[in-house]
Amino acid sequence: MQSQYHYFATAPAGGVELLAEELKSLGAQQCQLKPTGVEFSGELAVGYRAVLWSRVANRIYLRLANAVVDRPEALYAAVQGIDWSQHMTVETPFAVSFTGSGAGIKHTHFGALKIKDAIVDQFRGRCGMRPPVVTEGAHLAIHAHLHRGRLQVFIDLSGFGLHQRGYRQGVRFSAPLKENVAAAVLLRCGWPTVAEAGGALVDPMCGSGTFLVEAAWMVQQRAPQLNNVDRMSLLHWQGHVPALWQRLVAEAQERFAAHRHLLPKMVGRDISAKSLAAAHRVLAQADLADQIQLQQAPLRAQHGLDAAQGLVVCNPPYGERLGVESELNDLYQQLGELLKRYFVGWRAGVFTCRGDKVPLLGLRPLKQHPFRNGALECVLARYAIQPAHFRHPPLQVEQDLAVQVARRYPDMADSEGARMFANRLRKNLRRLKGWLKQAQVSAFRAYDADIPEYALAVDVYDTVDDGRWVVVYEYAPPACVDPRKARRHLFEAMAVLPQVLAVTPEKIVYKVRQRQKGSKQYVKLAQRADFHQVVENGARLWVNFHDYLDTGLFLDHRLVRRKVARLSRAGRLLNLFCYTASASVEAAVAGAQASVSVDLSRTYLDWAARNFALNDLDRKQHTLIRVDVLRWLAQPPEKIGRFDVIFLDPPSFSTSKRMQGTLDIQRDHVTLIEQAGQLLENEGHLVFSTNLRRFKLAAEQLENRWEIEDWTQTTLPPDFQRHRPIHQVWRLRRRYG
């Protein structure tokens, strides 16, 4: 037996320093920190203790060779230079793994094959037999690493990941926290010191109980691999010293027996009965069933412990188990409130892969440490829970922003800026009051960035079925605007809207209005499927305030739809790029004999079908077609016939993968008008509309064949007349002679 051996211990990212301290306490010498672990040396007992006692390590490797190689043949020779009879027999099943590259080796599989060949060839040359190479059930696991021309060959002393403690047998849990990562988190939070001083431990979202077990075993001084002493690869190593191993195992068992009764108060809580059932099973397999309390409770219902000090540690869910992002935000805010209310004077550690949610706790962290849990990048935020560290968590700018402002900043409505915004909003309402009543408008724009600092659009919907709702769009500010001031102006506006518009905060929906590119313009914002009815131009229409950026009804086109409906009386309407087909529905209510509405979106056509059904319209006379409008116009069906009115309202740009090519309305509008015109009756009307602000109609290309009438000003309702026209509209008719 050698007097000194060289080892390498791997660690999860974030745990290398902790591992080095741990190894030093076990007698390791010459510890050198590397990006993925720690190199160290010591007697064989040091390696054995590391395998048995390390709580942080992934694996402990015993180094057999450290050689310079410059080509695959040199790698083969270096491995052949090891006397493998000192480490295994010809009957020992073994496995080889390889990492790194260089010396002409670009693939890890090729590197592993070269090492396997060198070992097999050595045994075949000596005894005419070769040891079995296996992928599972290996008695000896050999690992090699090549970096910058240096090859290191190791034996894996355990043969399995040391995060496997043996107390999770048969327990399956989604996104589990690795045991050695949990141990590293507890060490970083100072749990051994807290426990030595008599402090308690609480995990308010304990899941399957990993933190609880690791914390208990630290206090009990239980070696984490006591359950696995009979399955170690080192037992099959030819250099193994059974007497030394048995002595160290016996010492570990005695040490555990002397301390197993010393547990402080430890409590695990979770809202999930399934999680707690897994935790009960884990605690039973860890010999802790009767020593740790488990309680089912949501965060809102939890409370403190009768202990002056302790550690609260948890790994909140990452979002997969929750329905929407807002629920995750609420979870972190509730956790912060729990800590500040019941655990003053304690320490806390929150380990999460959602570092963006940490500010929602409303506590200033002592420090944040980067970690990895498997493939997940995580962060550990450590806290001393003291009033001096309390702060308001930032408001999450989401659809329920008005509710958050009302709860957090009830006095903000009295600020000078809020009063200024409220006065302008009241002035607009007074100006629109008579028109709203006379025109019987139930959905209108009440404010549209009238004050530049308050860059918002406020739309009011007086629904048939659920009273008043308000949708607030914030225009994304330019980079030159101070984001803190913009945020305050937004909060001030949200604070006064309920009072001025006579609506509860729960019925104010906030969204950000900015240019949408690519597939983002179709992304759902929520999945509530909460629809409401409004009345426009005599028709009932469904609107949705939460699920999409737009509500299903473009309010600025209110008068455009009325003109289209009047033109379509007793005639046939073709509605291209129909969206939710509100124009078609209003035309049908006004007396159109038939209509065809065309769009590529299944979502919008389903919405359109509901609009027709809401008005009891005969769908045999009013057809919905799901197709690429560009392709359909290029080759319309022969039986489609001609139309008295065509409403052409295309998007400004479209790059949908389902479309034939791309659409640029400035570039393509002449072609679209001419193609649509082929389906128009001789005396028919083609209404063309666009919301592209910089659009220029190519009149010189159209006026020889079309009579063109600009409807832009006559179709701008009073609630959209304060700024540059939000849309442009033309009525075109065939020119003859």
Question: In the numeric block, which tokens belong to residue 443?
Answer: 């959905």
Establish whether domains 401-514 and 542-734 are of one fold.
no
| Residues paired with 39 in a beta bridge | 8, 32
| Contact (Cβ atoms closer than 8 angstroms) between residue 312 and residue 361 | no
Residue 249: how many other CB atoms lie within 10 Å: 17
Q: Kindly provide the residue ranges of all beta strands, DSSP E only, lying in 185-272, ordered along the sequence.
A: 200-203, 266-270
Helices (H), 241-319: 242-259, 273-285
| Residues paired with 367 in a beta bridge | 382
The CATH number given to 401-514 is 3.30.750.80
| pLDDT at position 47 | 98
| pLDDT at position 484 | 80
Cβ contacts of 137 within 8 Å, gap of 6 or more = 93
Residue 246: how many other CB atoms lie within 10 Å: 11
Question: What residues does each domain of the chain span?
Answer: 5-156, 179-222+260-389, 401-514, 542-734
pLDDT tens for each residue of 410-447: 889 999 999 999 999 999 999 999 999 999 999 999 99
DSSP 3-state of 494: helix
Whole-angstrom Cα distance, residue 293 to residue 634? 71
| Contact (Cβ atoms closer than 8 angstroms) between residue 201 and residue 70 | no
pLDDT tens for each residue of 597-617: 999 999 999 999 999 999 999
Handedness of CA 168, 173, 178, 183 (dihedral sign): negative
| pLDDT at position 519 | 39
Q: What is the DSSP string of 87-153?
A: T--TT--EEEEEEE-BTTB--HHHHHHHHHHHHHHHHHHHHS--PPB-SSS-SEEEEEEEETTEEEE
Instruction: Report the run of H or E that residue 380 belongs to, with start and end.
Output: strand 376-384
The Cα angle at residue 80 between residues 74 and 84, in degrees rounded to 5: 150
| Contact (Cβ atoms closer than 8 angstroms) between residue 310 and residue 318 | no
Whole-angstrom Cα distance, residue 521 to residue 515? 8
- Minimal CA–CA distance to 299: which of 366, 361, 378, 212? 361
Question: In the numeric block, which tokens belong to residue 603?
Answer: 């979502």
| Low-confidence spans in the chain with pLDDT less than 70 | 1, 173-175, 319-324, 396-397, 478, 514-528, 655-661, 737
DSSP letter (8 states) at residue 356: G
Residue with tokens 């007074």: 430
| Contact (Cβ atoms closer than 8 angstroms) between residue 661 and residue 630 | yes
| Contact (Cβ atoms closer than 8 angstroms) between residue 726 and residue 716 | yes
Cβ contacts of 251 within 8 Å, gap of 6 or more = none
| Contact (Cβ atoms closer than 8 angstroms) between residue 704 and residue 670 | no
CATH fold label, 5-156: VC0802-like (3.30.2130)
DSSP 3-state of 385: coil
DSSP 3-state of 2: coil
Packing angle between helix 210-220 and helix 179-188, nearest 10 degrees? 60
The CATH number given to 542-734 is 3.40.50.150
Helices (H), 260-386: 273-285, 325-342
Residue 548: how many other CB atoms lie within 10 Å: 18
Whole-angstrom Cα distance, residue 475 to residue 448? 10
Whole-angstrom Cα distance, residue 641 to residue 629? 16
The Cα angle at residue 392 between residues 202 and 297, in degrees rounded to 5: 30
| Contact (Cβ atoms closer than 8 angstroms) between residue 210 and residue 165 | no
Cβ contacts of 471 within 8 Å, gap of 6 or more = 458, 459, 461, 508, 509, 511, 545, 551
What is the average pLDDT value for the chain, to the nearest integer? 92
- Minimal CA–CA distance to 381: which of 417, 403, 356, 344? 356
The CATH number given to 179-222+260-389 is 3.40.50.150
Residue with tokens 């930032």: 394
Question: In the numeric block, which tokens belong to residue 516?
Answer: 């949408």
Whole-angstrom Cα distance, residue 30 to residue 38? 10
| pLDDT at position 516 | 44
Q: How many residues does the chain have?
A: 737
Sheet holding 266-270, edge to edge: 293-296, 266-270, 200-203, 310-314, 347-352, 376-384, 367-373
Buried b (16+ CB within 10 A) or exposed e, 567-593: bbeebbbbbbbbbbbbbbbbbbbbebe
Instruction: Report the run of H or E that residue 416 belongs to, with start and end.
Output: helix 416-439
